[in-house]
């Protein structure tokens, strides 16, 4: 009996000890993003992100994630007209130079975004009083100063961004008002003169949701190409949504490839709350739907001719730094990483799409 009591007490002590250990000792630590896998290792084409310079400089986790996952970077805002050229005779290279140095130190491609756009125009341009020759000179000087500054360091440029309306007509931007429809062609010529080795892209949105717009974009680009204007690629922004149809996504990517130009999915994000529902919760079901859509984009892109695969770039890095929640004042989760820098099902969807 005495032995039985000792035995039971012993078993109880061991059991309590185990329980105690289970709760006190942390489980074996798994890194959030294991280092043996990364988008840049697993995807058969360049994969990039639009990056925020402030976060790159002040947030080590963000910086490390960019370093580990991507082999191409685009400046989210640092190379726009308003940032780089705030006064007629003032250029501010600080932020963009930082990104280019980061890319050089870490063996990343830099895609320049963007030389001529109807947004991010500084006041001195909006208020510029000059005749068409003076405007032409303003536009040419901006393009050539920027492209020359980064000659040999920035592989490619979005030379003109968003020059068309959704109905396929020319957007009546300040550039078109002052310089006429053919300003687009001349932007490419000026950029090419400044760096003949840079790859030059026209960048726009809407390819996946509007057949009218994608036809107009593709027609414009083919006509530039046929005139021997130095244009090398088409950038499809792809700010899309989880319920966009696969048929539309495929039509966008495949008709872009049919132009014969390089194809860049240049600003990919997949919104999960396009109807602006304030209390929406990002459920596992939504996460899987998003993963399937990322997978489809990657798989479709991988199936265009390899020589035209310039790459896929996501617009921002994680759900925590996406432009969408701020812009639309709603919760959303558009990217392959969550706000804690962990890989989402969307990330694994991208890997699946590349298989
Ligand atoms: O830096 C100023 C800050 O000093 C000021 O206090 C604050 C107050 O509003 O504004 C800050 O500037 C903002 C800037 O982002 C940096 O955060 C601008 O207001 C804001 O307009 C700007 O938005 C950017 C937008 O382009 C316009 O340039 C977004 O971050 C950027 O993600 C977005 O990117 C565009 C692509 O270039 C083209 N395709 C669509 C895409 C999404 O809109």
Average pLDDT of the segment spanning 38-57 = 98
Mind listing the pLDDT tens digit for each residue in 77-110?
A: 999 999 999 999 999 999 999 999 999 999 999 9
Of 76, 72, 70, 68, the closest CA to residue 52 belongs to: 76
Of all helices (H) and strands (E), which one includes residue 314?
strand 309-314
265 forms beta bridges with: 236, 312
In this model, does residue 56 exceed pLDDT 60?
A: yes
Out of 50, 77, 117, 315, give the residue to mutate to test ligand 1, the one with the largest number of ligand atoms within 8 Å of its CB: 77
Å from CA of 77 to ligand 1 middle: 7
- Over residues 220-234, the mean pLDDT reads 98
Whether 69 is a known active-site residue: answer no
Asked if 198 and 191 count as a contact pair (C-beta separation under 8 A), the reply is yes
123-158 residue pLDDT tens: 999 999 999 999 999 999 999 999 999 999 999 999
For residue 243, the CA-to-ligand 1 centroid distance in Å is 26
| Chain Cα centroid distance, residue 42 | 18
For residues 240 and 208, the answer to whether their CB atoms sit within 8 Å is yes
Per-residue pLDDT at 174: 98
Helix 132-149 / helix 183-194 crossing angle, nearest 10 deg: 40
Does the predicted TM-score (pTM) go above 0.85? yes
SS3 per residue for 162-198: CCECCCCCECCCHHHHHHCCCHHHHHHHHHHHHCCCC
Q: Grade residue 191 by pLDDT with cuts at 50, 70 and 90.
A: very high
The confidence score (pLDDT) of residue 348 equals: 98
Which atom of ligand 1 is found nearest the CA of 161? 38
> What pairing do the DSSP bridges indicate for beta strands 109-116 and 309-314?
unpaired
- Percentage of the chain with pLDDT > 70? 92
Q: Quick one: tokens of 319?
A: 């759900």
For ligand 1, atom 28: residue with the closest CA: 120
- Three-state DSSP state, 267: strand
Catalytic residue (one of 136, 162, 208, 352): 162
Q: Which of 10-14, 97-101, 192-196 shows the lowest per-residue confidence on average (mean pLDDT)?
A: 10-14
The candidate with the shortest Cα–Cα distance to 349, out of 272, 288, 264, 268, is 288
Is residue 231 within 8 Å of 263, Cβ to Cβ?
Answer: no
Rounded to whole angstroms, how far apart are CA atoms 95 and 98?
A: 5
pLDDT over 60 (residue 27): no
| pLDDT value, residue 351 | 98
Q: Confidence band (pLDDT; 50, 70, 90) for 9?
A: very low
Which residues form the pocket of ligand 1, taking CB atoms under 6 Å from any ligand atom? 76-77, 80, 119-120, 237, 267, 323
> Looking at the predicted structure, is the pLDDT value of residue 34 above 90?
no
Architecture of domain 37-354: Alpha-Beta Barrel (3.20)
Q: Quickly tell me which residue has 């030379």 as its tokens.
A: 159
Please tell me the predicted confidence (pLDDT) of residue 337: 98
Whether residue 232 has pLDDT greater than 70: yes
Look up 288 and say whether it is catalytic.
Answer: no
Q: Which residue has the higher pLDDT, 103 or 15?
A: 103
Give the active site residue among 69, 267, 288, 352: 267
Rounded to whole angstroms, how far apart are CA atoms 317 and 49? 6
Q: Ligand 1 mean position to 234 CA, how many Å? A: 23
Distance 119 CA to ligand 1 centre (A): 10
What is residue 28's predicted lDDT score, i.e. its pLDDT? Answer: 54
Which among 96, 173, 323, 324 is the best mutation to test ligand 1's pocket, defined by most ligand atoms within 8 Å of the CB? 323
Give the residue-averaged pLDDT of 148-172: 98
Q: Please give the pLDDT value at position 186.
A: 99
Q: Is it the case that residue 184 has pLDDT exceeding 90?
A: yes
When pLDDT is averaged across residues 255-266 and rounded to a whole number, the result is: 98
pLDDT at residue 21, as a whole number: 33
């Amino acid at each position: 009996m005495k032995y039985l009591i000792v035995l039971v007490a012993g078993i109880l002590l061991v059991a309590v000890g185990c329980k105690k250990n289970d709760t006190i000792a942390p489980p074996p630590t798994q890194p959030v993003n294991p280092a043996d896998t990364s988008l840049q290792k697993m995807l058969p084409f360049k994969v990039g992100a639009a990056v925020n310079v402030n976060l790159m400089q002040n947030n080590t986790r963000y910086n490390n994630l960019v370093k580990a996952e991507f082999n191409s970077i685009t400046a989210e805002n640092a190379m726009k007209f308003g940032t780089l050229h705030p006064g007629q005779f003032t250029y501010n290279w600080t932020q963009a130079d930082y990104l280019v140095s980061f890319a050089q130190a870490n063996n990343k491609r830099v895609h320049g975004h963007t030389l001529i756009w109807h947004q991010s125009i500084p006041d001195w341009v909006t208020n510029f009083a000059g005749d068409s020759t003076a405007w032409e000179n303003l536009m040419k000087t901006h393009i050539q100063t920027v492209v020359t500054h980064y000659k040999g360091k920035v592989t490619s440029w979005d030379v003109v961004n968003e020059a068309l309306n959704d109905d396929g007509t020319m957007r009546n931007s300040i550039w078109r008002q002052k310089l006429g429809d053919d300003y687009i062609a001349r932007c490419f010529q000026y950029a090419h003169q400044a760096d003949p080795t840079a790859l030059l892209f026209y960048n726009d949105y809407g390819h996946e949701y509007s057949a009218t717009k994608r036809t107009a974009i593709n027609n414009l680009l083919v006509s530039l190409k046929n005139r021997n204007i130095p244009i090398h690629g088409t950038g499809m922004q792809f700010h899309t949504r989880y319920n966009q149809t696969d048929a539309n996504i495929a039509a966008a990517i495949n008709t872009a490839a049919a132009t014969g130009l390089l194809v860049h999915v240049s600003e990919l994000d997949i919104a999960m709350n396009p109807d602006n529902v304030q209390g929406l919760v990002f459920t596992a079901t939504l996460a899987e739907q998003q993963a399937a859509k990322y997978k489809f984009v990657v798989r479709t892109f991988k199936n265009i001719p390899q020589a035209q695969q310039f790459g896929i770039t996501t617009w921002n890095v994680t759900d925590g730094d996406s432009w969408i929640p701020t812009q639309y004042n709603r919760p959303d989760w558009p990217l392959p990483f969550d706000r804690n820098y962990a890989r989402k099902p969307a990330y694994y969807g991208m890997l699946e799409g590349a298989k």
